[in-house]
Homo-oligomer: A and B are copies of this chain.
Amino acid sequence: MKLSELGEFGFIERIRQVAGSAPGVVVGIGDDCAVIEVPAGQRLLTSNDLLIEDVHFRRQWTDMYRLGRKSVAVNVSDVAAMGGAPRHLYLGLGLPEGLQVEELDQFLAGFVEAATEYGAALVGGDTCRSPGPFFISVTVEGAVPEAELVCRSGAAPGDAIYVSGTLGDSALALRQLSQGLVPAPELARRHHDPQARPTLGRQVAAAQLPSAMIDISDGVLADLGHILEASGVGACLELESLPLSAPFRKALQQDPALIELALAGGEDYELLFTVPTEREAWLAKISTEVPLTRIGELTAEVGLRISDAQGRPFCLSRGGFNHFAGGAQK
């Protein structure tokens, strides 16, 4: 069925039927605004992310169901990065001609499924036809207890740097797709259906372990760089300690230059956080859903240094992802 046959309000009703609800939602879809009760002692966290066809995704490389899931994950990841729990999602859709209602149903199914997994509900948004590409704008609201908020600016020299999961898998999958290759299933999943880490973010924030935290969306170098800038510190990273998956290590054996994807590739959606050394012992006591790896430490001297297995300085040929330049999807 064509969207124009269903009409805007028909589509909104379709969304309302699948959206569900969540604690704290006084009014959901169907009024001028969603109405939310924020519990006393909690801070509201809000973030907005765009996903644009042929910039962030290609419809021939993914499917609408996984695109719906990913649209949630990339937003939830921002709430996780401040120690919060995601609660409410607002979905703005610019829909190109020719997109079928059945495709949108798949997108919504993925979106609502991922939202539910993260404990959030779809409570508002806007839909409109697009004369160009498929545009997705997601706004997420989350909550964090006042004392457990983690910002980018609290890091200090000597703090250890930790990351969750493995790095570079998504960027490697994208590289392979753009070369006409078929990525290994584990790599493809990391790119098309990434997992945000709000449970981990809440765990470490509730234990008040991180001095600063960020999610890795533009590559570990760029995102660590934001912490360094906000906190006024520098860092030393150990190349050998970067956590890499088995398929990534396999590809790296063929082409050692791929290590740059683990440093500057983007779309990992893992958490990077810094921990004062006196709290590192507590970190080991937390049972997390995903492994944590110490990849370096902060320094009083500003700047970001990387050393290889022999302790020699490692230089990178390029920086992080520039959303205004060509970009990797082109």
Closest to A36 in B: B44
Is B128 a contact partner of A82 (Cβ separation < 8 A)? no
Is B128 a contact partner of A32 (Cβ separation < 8 A)? no
Complex: how many Å from CA A84 to CA B47? 21
Is A291 engaged at the interface, CB distance under 8 Å to the other chain? no
Complex: how many Å from CA A137 to CA B135? 10
- A33-B78, A34-B45, A48-B126 known; A8 vs B322 contact (CB < 8 Å): yes
Is A48 a contact partner of B90 (Cβ separation < 8 A)? yes
- Contact among B32, B37, B79, B81 with A152 in the assembled complex (CB-CB below 8 Å): B32
Complex: how many Å from CA A54 to CA B130? 9
Q: Which of A136-183 contact B (CB under 8 A)?
A: 137, 139, 141-142, 144, 149, 151-153
Is A313 engaged at the interface, CB distance under 8 Å to the other chain? no
- A43-B36, A152-B31 known; A323 vs B127 contact (CB < 8 Å): yes
Is A131 a contact partner of B55 (Cβ separation < 8 A)? yes
Complex: how many Å from CA A79 to CA B27? 13
Is A46 engaged at the interface, CB distance under 8 Å to the other chain? yes
Is A131 a contact partner of B92 (Cβ separation < 8 A)? no
For A, the interface residue count at a CB cutoff of 8 angstroms equals: 72
Closest to A217 in B: B32
Is A193 engaged at the interface, CB distance under 8 Å to the other chain? no
- Contact among B132, B137, B142, B324 with A133 in the assembled complex (CB-CB below 8 Å): B132
- Contact among B45, B81, B93, B324 with A8 in the assembled complex (CB-CB below 8 Å): B324
11 A-B pairs besides A30-B152, A44-B141, A52-B131 with CB distance below 8 A are A33-B142, A34-B46, A36-B44, A38-B38, A48-B125, A48-B126, A50-B92, A53-B131, A95-B324, A130-B132, A132-B132
- List A residues at the B interface (Cβ < 8 Å): 3-4, 6-8, 11, 26-27, 30-38, 40, 43-50, 52-56, 78-79, 81-82, 84, 88, 90-95, 123-133, 135, 137, 139, 141-142, 144, 149, 151-153, 214-215, 230, 322-325, 327
